[in-house]
Chain A
């Protein structure tokens, strides 16, 4: 059996492959659900009923998808230029804690001014947190996978230090949580009696903006050229170092924005479990979307739906809710195979 590169990929295949990948992942995971002693079809029905079957379920899924879209974009932007930012989780927390620090004070500004400023601050914090690894890579060739990955722990410990210490909320009955953002700094709800907030619309806008940036700007073309063929980009006179640095900053900013949006839109304060792995899931979302910024949106919604629905499945059928992680991870693997098969064909 051999693999051959396809000359052209049929458009139908491009659409069908991700679908087939997700179906395959669900089929594979049904083995585990069966092993746990639950009726497979009923369990999946519960999962999707919970996540997508009601107004509340849908809004919960979209709320959950909001930070995932932003971290997914952060990963997609960086990976497109072959800058492996694995530190999205840390940048997320830096964005969140920056917003809490600034937003808890009373600045006397109207919400229309304060909210954008807070979000900007969060994005900036995320970007700056990635500046060190980016410069180390460009100047000294330090592997950014290692530095960004390890900085995640630094970020979490820093947040922990702050919310146990100087930023601890005195009114929280001793729980380790930060001082809350003032009312004027919170994002408005999108729908009454749901948790869906304006952050979701912002995330969609961000996806559109990144798609435009990629396809229609000098910077986007330069970043793609650097990612797809660095020597040729350098030969063409593209300032490779500057492009990589800006790309890294953009990636960190998107992850920081995710943290800022989660605080101002949903929680109002920071705890060390603010993110159930939005950073790492962002990497998965980006890969599921094959780094396409518009594809990040459905990919994030899929991952969010699985997580939201898995809790209900766990309660109803006694399947451990960790099954959500397994489904998402399996989907990533099947998606990688599916994408490979859109580029190659198998021959005997």
Chain B
């Protein structure tokens, strides 16, 4: 079988960083190839070179035997390569049909041939099992439907090779299953597919072949059938990753209780009738598809949100307002979702960020004067205790990697031994090693008696850490489920707004 796509010796440097180092990769007709790797392993760079967004320093791309001119996305499209980006590139005020046909008709055309275009779109949708209504506005579609439109856009342009960048990042488990069965059907009809992922289970379950990238190099290729997840994880990270395991603990008294809590902003109800009860020595997971009110919920505990209505109890006492002082007094640590934006000031030095939240504390200032040495010592302690790598107290904070930055944010909170931790997406975008470390720290805090409210879109994370789980959908929370009673299928249904009470097979 001659390959439809052949990458040879692709090398790309960004400054001192070797993003791709002599990568050879082929793709056969009708094959589903998974590109597995951590953030920064070079997956997206490689695909961007293939699609002509970047020019490689060395190496060639061949599609159907022809060498593609470097740096020319149009040539890539003409050669039959289609790309579905992680962040969709659709115009939400246009119809599905307009989005698919836009750019395919010459501007000088006498009239738009919409009738033919519609027939072709409907025919493609049917053939590949991608049902959409051509006349709906894209803005009204669900995320899963938008993704179908993106795929159809590529198919409409006669793509024979389809590249999908982290296609399941925004989908519920059921939507992901459905996507993969669609992709499988497309492969059976002769299309070739590459999907980028860092989720081991979907790679093993749905690919024909797995290529593992690490540090810009292709470190392994395996047939997916029979590949072990443990081995792939080790190949991806470069060492064995030991995940902390959750031991059952008897939860203690209530730390945080919300009842009938509502948040409105700009006439929109962001949170509606929220009820939850977080106790000592437990992790309460809040899971949901992005954009269902997680942000508003997390913000409640940052001290920067509009004040909610409803009953709130902190440490068993009713509180009127969730402002910064009340939260600090209760010993609440908040790990914001966006660490670059809210977690740290990137252009300050590490030691300054280490003490910024407690700058008025007598340990770090006296009579308005900074105790610089105390702050430096404190930062050095955090670096040691929380294994923040490649940094000194005076390092500019934005030079830290995501994982090390998160260790700093978590560390400066945990060292104060908070009774309550609200963590929003604490491991998003981090590599496996850092994820394991953050998870270990959160479980350790739980073991020391803290309660953790874990807001996450990552089901693996929820199953690994949470004692109980509540699903957030359109600003409302489900009743809590013990994690033992929650299956991926059941949570997935609830995340899609369906009744998860009657367990069904997915």
- Is A44 positioned at the interface, with any CB of B under 8 Å from its CB? no
Q: Please report the C-alpha to C-alpha distance between residue A347 and residue B328 in the assembled complex, in whole angstroms.
A: 47
Q: Please report the C-alpha to C-alpha distance between residue A45 and residue B412 in the assembled complex, in whole angstroms.
A: 57
- Is B226 positioned at the interface, with any CB of A under 8 Å from its CB? no
Q: Please report the C-alpha to C-alpha distance between residue A217 and residue B14 in the assembled complex, in whole angstroms.
A: 39
Which residues does chain B contribute within 8 Å of A238, judged by CB atoms?
356, 359
Which residues does chain B contribute within 8 Å of A7, judged by CB atoms?
15-16, 399
Which residues does chain B contribute within 8 Å of A234, judged by CB atoms?
304
- Interface pair B356/A225, CB less than 8 Å apart: yes
Which residues does chain A contribute within 8 Å of B341, judged by CB atoms?
229, 231-232
Q: Please report the C-alpha to C-alpha distance between residue A40 and residue B342 in the assembled complex, in whole angstroms.
A: 53
Contact flag A235-B343 (CB < 8 Å), given A216-B370, A221-B359, A222-B359: yes
Q: Please report the C-alpha to C-alpha distance between residue A233 and residue B30 in the assembled complex, in whole angstroms.
A: 52
Name the residue of chain A whose CB is nearest to the CB of B355: A221
Name the residue of chain B whose CB is nearest to the CB of A5: B15
Which residues does chain A contribute within 8 Å of B344, judged by CB atoms?
229, 232
Question: How would residues 338 to 349 of chain B score, 1 for a CB under 8 Å from any chain A CB and 0 otherwise?
Answer: 000111111110
- Is A168 positioned at the interface, with any CB of B under 8 Å from its CB? no
- Interface pair A232/B342, CB less than 8 Å apart: yes
Residues in B344-390 with C-beta less than 8 Å from chain A: 344-348, 352, 356-357, 359-360, 365, 368-370, 372
Which residues does chain A contribute within 8 Å of B345, judged by CB atoms?
224-225, 228-229, 232-233
- Interface pair B304/A235, CB less than 8 Å apart: yes
Name the residue of chain B whose CB is nearest to the CB of A347: B15
Q: Please report the C-alpha to C-alpha distance between residue A237 and residue B336 in the assembled complex, in whole angstroms.
A: 13
Contact flag A218-B365 (CB < 8 Å), given A232-B342, A233-B356, A236-B356: yes
- Interface pair B348/A225, CB less than 8 Å apart: yes
Least CB distance, A123 to chain B, in whole angstroms: 20
Interface size grouping (class) on chain B: 20 to 34
Which residues does chain B contribute within 8 Å of A228, judged by CB atoms?
345-348
Residues in B380-437 with C-beta less than 8 Å from chain A: 399
- Is B22 positioned at the interface, with any CB of A under 8 Å from its CB? no
- Is B303 positioned at the interface, with any CB of A under 8 Å from its CB? yes
- Is B302 positioned at the interface, with any CB of A under 8 Å from its CB? yes
Interface size grouping (class) on chain A: 20 to 34
Contact of B359 among A216, A218, A235, A345 (CB under 8 A): A218
- Interface pair B369/A216, CB less than 8 Å apart: yes
Least CB distance, B141 to chain A, in whole angstroms: 31
Question: How would residues 55 to 84 of chain A score, 1 for a CB under 8 Å from any chain B CB and 0 otherwise?
Answer: 000000000000000000000000000000
- Is B324 positioned at the interface, with any CB of A under 8 Å from its CB? yes
Q: Please report the C-alpha to C-alpha distance between residue A222 and residue B348 in the assembled complex, in whole angstroms.
A: 11
- Is A4 positioned at the interface, with any CB of B under 8 Å from its CB? yes
Q: Please report the C-alpha to C-alpha distance between residue A233 and residue B357 in the assembled complex, in whole angstroms.
A: 8
Question: How many A-B residue pairs lie within 8 Å, measured between CB atoms?
Answer: 72
Which residues does chain B contribute within 8 Å of A347, judged by CB atoms?
15
Contact flag A221-B352 (CB < 8 Å), given A216-B370, A216-B372, A237-B303: yes
- Interface pair A4/B14, CB less than 8 Å apart: yes
Which residues does chain B contribute within 8 Å of A221, judged by CB atoms?
348, 352, 356, 359, 370
- Interface pair B360/A218, CB less than 8 Å apart: yes
Contact flag A218-B370 (CB < 8 Å), given A225-B345, A232-B341, A347-B15: yes
Contact flag A224-B348 (CB < 8 Å), given A218-B360, A237-B328: yes
Which residues does chain B contribute within 8 Å of A236, judged by CB atoms?
356-357, 359
Least CB distance, A235 to chain B, in whole angstroms: 4
Q: Please report the C-alpha to C-alpha distance between residue A221 and residue B399 in the assembled complex, in whole angstroms.
A: 19
| Dominant secondary structure of chain A at its interface with chain B | helix
Residue of A4, A229, A347 most packed against chain B (CB within 10 A): A229
Which residues does chain B contribute within 8 Å of A233, judged by CB atoms?
345, 356
Which residues does chain B contribute within 8 Å of A220, judged by CB atoms?
370
Q: Please report the C-alpha to C-alpha distance between residue A219 and residue B324 in the assembled complex, in whole angstroms.
A: 18
Q: Please report the C-alpha to C-alpha distance between residue A221 and residue B347 in the assembled complex, in whole angstroms.
A: 12
Least CB distance, A244 to chain B, in whole angstroms: 15
- Interface pair B356/A231, CB less than 8 Å apart: no
Which residues does chain B contribute within 8 Å of A345, judged by CB atoms?
15
Least CB distance, B288 to chain A, in whole angstroms: 22
Least CB distance, B357 to chain A, in whole angstroms: 4
Which residues does chain B contribute within 8 Å of A222, judged by CB atoms?
359
Q: Please report the C-alpha to C-alpha distance between residue A228 and residue B369 in the assembled complex, in whole angstroms.
A: 20
- Interface pair B359/A217, CB less than 8 Å apart: no
Least CB distance, B478 to chain A, in whole angstroms: 28
Which residues does chain B contribute within 8 Å of A231, judged by CB atoms?
341-342
Q: Please report the C-alpha to C-alpha distance between residue A20 and residue B89 in the assembled complex, in whole angstroms.
A: 44
Q: Please report the C-alpha to C-alpha distance between residue A233 and residue B334 in the assembled complex, in whole angstroms.
A: 14
Q: Please report the C-alpha to C-alpha distance between residue A176 and residue B85 in the assembled complex, in whole angstroms.
A: 70
Least CB distance, A150 to chain B, in whole angstroms: 31
Name the residue of chain B whose CB is nearest to the CB of A234: B304
Name the residue of chain B whose CB is nearest to the CB of A233: B345
Q: Please report the C-alpha to C-alpha distance between residue A218 and residue B355 in the assembled complex, in whole angstroms.
A: 11
Least CB distance, B130 to chain A, in whole angstroms: 38
Contact of B342 among A216, A217, A235 (CB under 8 A): A235
Question: How would residues 291 to 334 of chain B score, 1 for a CB under 8 Å from any chain A CB and 0 otherwise?
Answer: 00000000000111000000000000000000010001000001
- Interface pair A219/B368, CB less than 8 Å apart: yes
Q: Please report the C-alpha to C-alpha distance between residue A253 and residue B427 in the assembled complex, in whole angstroms.
A: 46
- Interface pair A237/B370, CB less than 8 Å apart: no
Which residues does chain B contribute within 8 Å of A217, judged by CB atoms?
365, 368-370
Which residues does chain A contribute within 8 Å of B302, judged by CB atoms?
235
Q: Please report the C-alpha to C-alpha distance between residue A231 and residue B370 in the assembled complex, in whole angstroms.
A: 22
Q: Please report the C-alpha to C-alpha distance between residue A238 and residue B359 in the assembled complex, in whole angstroms.
A: 9
Which residues does chain A contribute within 8 Å of B303, judged by CB atoms?
235, 237
Least CB distance, A85 to chain B, in whole angstroms: 21
Least CB distance, A230 to chain B, in whole angstroms: 9
Contact flag A235-B346 (CB < 8 Å), given A217-B368, A218-B360: no
Residues in B265-309 with C-beta less than 8 Å from chain A: 302-304
Q: Please report the C-alpha to C-alpha distance between residue A231 and residue B357 in the assembled complex, in whole angstroms.
A: 13
Question: How would residues 34 to 45 of chain A score, 1 for a CB under 8 Å from any chain B CB and 0 otherwise?
Answer: 000000000000
Residues in A292-348 with C-beta less than 8 Å from chain B: 345, 347
Least CB distance, A148 to chain B, in whole angstroms: 25
Contact of A237 among B357, B365, B399 (CB under 8 A): B357
Q: Please report the C-alpha to C-alpha distance between residue A220 and residue B16 in the assembled complex, in whole angstroms.
A: 35
Which residues does chain A contribute within 8 Å of B348, judged by CB atoms?
221, 224-225, 228-229
Residue of A7, A216, A231, A237 most packed against chain B (CB within 10 A): A237
Least CB distance, A41 to chain B, in whole angstroms: 41
Which residues does chain A contribute within 8 Å of B343, judged by CB atoms?
232, 235
Contact flag A237-B15 (CB < 8 Å), given A217-B370, A229-B346, A231-B341: no
Which residues does chain A contribute within 8 Å of B324, judged by CB atoms?
237
Least CB distance, B300 to chain A, in whole angstroms: 13
Contact flag A229-B368 (CB < 8 Å), given A4-B14, A222-B359: no
**Selected A-B contacts with CB under 8 Å, 17 pairs:** A4-B14, A218-B368, A218-B369, A221-B348, A221-B370, A222-B359, A224-B352, A225-B352, A225-B356, A228-B345, A229-B344, A235-B302, A235-B303, A235-B336, A237-B328, A237-B357, A347-B15
Residues of chain A whose beta carbon lies under 8 Å from any beta carbon of chain B: 4, 7, 216-222, 224-225, 228-229, 231-238, 345, 347
Q: What 7 pairs across the A-B complex have the smallest Cβ distances?
A: A229-B345, A228-B347, A236-B357, A235-B342, A236-B356, A237-B324, A232-B345
Given contacts A232-B342, A233-B345, 10 further A-B contacts (CB under 8 A): A7-B15, A221-B356, A229-B347, A229-B348, A232-B343, A232-B344, A235-B334, A237-B328, A237-B357, A347-B15
